[in-house]
Amino acid sequence: MRLSRYFLPVLKENPAEAQIVSHRYMLRAGMIKQQAAGIYSWLPLGFKVLKRIEQIVHEEQIRAGHIPLLMPTLQPADLWRESGRYDDYGQEMLRIKDRHERDMLFGPTNEEMITDIFRAHVNSYKELPLTLYHIQWKFRDEVRPRFGVMRGREFLMKDGYNFDLTKEDALHAYNRHMVSYLRTYERMGLTAIPMRAASGPIGGDNTHEFLVLASTGESEVFYDAKVPELKLGDRAVDYDNRAEVAAICEEFTTLYARTDETHDEAAFNAIPEERRKVGRGIEVGQIFYFGTKYSESMGATVVTAEGNRVPVEMGSHGIGVSRLLGALIEANHDDKGIIWPEGVTPFHCGIVNLKQGDAGTDAACEGLYKALVAAGLDPLYDDRDERAGAKFATMDLIGLPWRITVGPKGLGKGVVELTSRRTGESVEMSAEDAVARIVEIYAAHR
């Protein structure tokens, strides 16, 4: 993309309404625009990152054997009357009437609807196990929408639902989700710690939340300093291997890590003092096992091998896709702007032309741009007729991890400059080497 033809409405001033850094930078970098409290338009740059995150979520769900579909945002109230949650959900649910005075609602989650799909089409234990998921907009009329996309009213969530014959099978599905979530967050360059949680309105007793450590997080967290060091890395996981998946879950959940809701002072104090950490965290996901809570009330049953009809075992599992943008920025920024991890960056690298209109620098930039595109990458070329300082400021603000700077002086020596946004380090090299280096860096993120 050439910046002169892009739509990147950056703001020079800090918007007064933004209290935390991610909200401030998302507004300043022209990623989002608020349309009503907690409701945002996703401008091109924000939309690009949102799509990158969505793509990673999809890939990891499919890798785990889960099947994508798409349910509507609007739901009939009658489904929720069956489960009893139409009354229980309270004011967070946006209730709507259609022209025939029928009660509808904008879905805050989809347990009822997925259970309805299941009961309409599945009859036999032979069709299990089954995990269906979608990535769809949710609406929750939050008392206090705030911090930008972090606590929106309309927000994008990946929500998945497992259907199994036995509790043992459903707990394997739970573990599979835990491991697939760990992989998902790691691919984005995030450390999200699974913490035992309290269940809330979804119900069920087996549940973990995934928290990203950040001083601006809404949850207070207590953890062993060794927990954030745990990494899946590039180990290959066989999701059908129950023992292997369970062992990974055990590895990631044995050391102490709890939110204030489930905190146990005595257990915490048993950790050696120098490893006891208290901090704050952003909830970026949650997994639940809740057994037959919905299948019983809604009549979602299967016939077993013995010919008995039993309610299906279920769980539900969510990732805060739009909230992740905020969490990523909270975890990756400095005083100049965002620093995107390579896994989610909106453009792979920036090209800054220090002397726009100069035949030599223009040609060198065009050459770099075309070479990067030919290599399958997505560069952003700042070809505007602007001062170098303004170009650097924009690049730093929008946070592309790599920048190639092209000026007449360097070209005279046959070099361009490759700069890391994270370390600020610059290295001079030939344009060909710069392209090769960028290609190599992103080969690890395909």
Which parts of this chain interact with ligand ATP (CB under 6 A)?
Answer: 109, 140, 142, 151-152, 155, 157, 200, 283-286, 318, 320, 322-323
Choose from ligand ATP, Mg ion, none: what does 179 bind? Cβ within 5-8 Å by kind. Answer: none
> In the complex with ligand ATP, which residue's Cβ is closer, 159 or 342?
159
Nearest 10 degrees: Cα torsion 307, 311, 313, 315: 150
Choose from Mg ion, ligand ATP, none: what does 131 bind? Cβ within 5-8 Å by kind. Answer: none
> In the complex with ligand ATP, which residue's Cβ is closer, 289 or 347?
289
Give yes or no for a contact between 344 and 327, defined as CB atoms under 8 angstroms apart: no
> In the complex with ligand ATP, which residue's Cβ is closer, 155 or 185?
155
Min separation Cβ 154 and Mg ion, Å: 17
3-state secondary structure (DSSP) of residue 214? coil
> In the complex with ligand ATP, which residue's Cβ is closer, 56 or 351?
56
- Count of CB atoms situated within 10 Å of the CB of 375: 15
How far apart CA 104 and CA 76 sit, in angstroms, is 4
Tokens for 153, please give them. 């009213």
286 lies in the binding site for Mg ion (CB under 5 A): yes
Min separation Cβ 109 and ligand ATP, Å: 6
3-state DSSP percent of the chain in helix, strand and coil, to 5: 40, 30, 35
How far apart CA 270 and CA 281 sit, in angstroms, is 22
> In the complex with ligand ATP, which residue's Cβ is closer, 199 or 420?
199
Contact track, Mg ion, 209-248, x by CB under 5 A: ----------------------------------------
Choose from ligand ATP, Mg ion, none: what does 30 bind? Cβ within 5-8 Å by kind. Answer: none
Give yes or no for a contact between 172 and 243, defined as CB atoms under 8 angstroms apart: no
> In the complex with Mg ion, which residue's Cβ is closer, 22 or 259?
259
Tokens for 4, please give them. 């002169």
Cβ-proximal residue to ligand ATP, closest one: 320
Residue 419 burial (10 A CB sphere; 0-12, 13-18, 19+): buried
Min separation Cβ 292 and ligand ATP, Å: 20
How far apart CA 86 and CA 435 sit, in angstroms, is 56
Min separation Cβ 61 and ligand ATP, Å: 14
259 lies in the binding site for Mg ion (CB under 5 A): no
Give yes or no for a contact between 324 and 284, defined as CB atoms under 8 angstroms apart: yes
Give yes or no for a contact between 418 and 434, defined as CB atoms under 8 angstroms apart: yes
Min separation Cβ 21 and ligand ATP, Å: 17
Q: Which of left, alpha, beta for 19 (phi over 0: left; psi -120 to 50: alpha)?
A: alpha
> In the complex with Mg ion, which residue's Cβ is closer, 28 or 151?
151
Choose from Mg ion, ligand ATP, none: what does 285 bind? Cβ within 5-8 Å by kind. Answer: ligand ATP
Q: Give residues with Cβ within 8 angstroms of 339, minimum separation 6.
A: 332, 333, 399, 401, 421, 422
How far apart CA 437 and CA 14 sit, in angstroms, is 35
Min separation Cβ 283 and ligand ATP, Å: 4
Stretch that binds Mg ion, among 214-222, 279-287, 378-386, 426-434 (CB under 5 A): 279-287
Which residues would be at the binding site for Mg ion (CB under 5 A)?
286
